[in-house]
Amino acid sequence: MQRRFTVGLTGGIGSGKSAVARLFAERGVDIVDTDQIARSLTGPHGAAMPAVLAAFGDDFADAHGALDRAKMRALAFSRPEARRTLEGILHPMIRDAVFAESLLGTGPYVIFDIPLLVESGTWKQRVGRVLVVDCPEASQVARVMARNALAEDQVRAIMAAQAPRQVRLAAADDVIDNGGALDALAPQVDRLHATYLALAEEAVRNN
């Protein structure tokens, strides 16, 4: 089975990955969203729930058998060893689901939306191109506080578990600047989409 040309889309929390992914999807690109996969694995009686509850206790499930996300967020971003345990359960399952999902689409290329692409060594080798959505840290904090009703120190604790901005930028092949207004994204996506279509065609020719 020949793999399609793949772009890894990443960025810190609240940088605008989902907004960018939506614009690529509108242009016919297939999107595989690892946050969404993680949420379904830990949804009501999700495939990861038995292992999560075995590791953390039954009181991490809500009344529907789904992960109590606020409770796990508080634990995972204050205790690194707990986060590593959670990641040890979820990341291999997420990886399998990403590759299964990536075979389904029929678009010209596929984008993997992976918040931890730079942090986890394995993804970089599995994508043809790394696209980073970048914005100032102060914007990340303000956007996530507004979206999730979190306090600034809670957002900063999540950011502290992620690669610093400069490290992420150093890993980028391409960068989308989302430090301005949302309507500044579409022209940047259009330019990159043209580049990726050409790279996808070249990959087909070389196979």
Ligand X SMILES: Nc1ncnc2c1ncn2[C@@H]1O[C@H](COP(=O)(O)OP(=O)(O)OP(=O)(O)O)[C@@H](O)[C@H]1O
Q: Under the rule (CB under 6 A), what is the footprint of ligand X? A: 11, 13-19, 35, 115, 143, 147, 178, 181-182
Q: Which residues are annotated as a binding site for ATP?
A: 14-19
Torsion angle defined by CA atoms of residues 71, 92, 85 and 55, in that order, rounded to the nearest 10 degrees: 70
Instruction: Examine residue 89 and tell whether it contacts ligand COD (CB under 6 A).
Output: no
| SS percent in the chain: helix, strand, coil, step 5 | 55, 10, 30
Spatial strand order of the sheet with 129-134 comes to 30-33, 110-113, 6-10, 129-134, 174-177
Choose the stretch contacting ligand COD; rule: CB under 6 A; options: 34-42, 101-109, 135-143, 193-201.
34-42
- With residue 75 as reference, give the H or E element that holds it: helix 69-76
**Residue 64 · residue 80 · CB < 8 Å:** no
Choose which of 61, 94, 111, 135 interacts with ligand COD (CB under 6 A). 94
Residue nearest ligand COD (C-beta atom): 13
C-beta closer to ligand COD: residue 49 or 200: 49
Q: Which residues bind ligand COD (CB under 6 A)?
A: 13, 34-35, 38-39, 42, 67, 69, 72-73, 76, 83, 86-87, 90, 94, 114-116, 158, 161-162
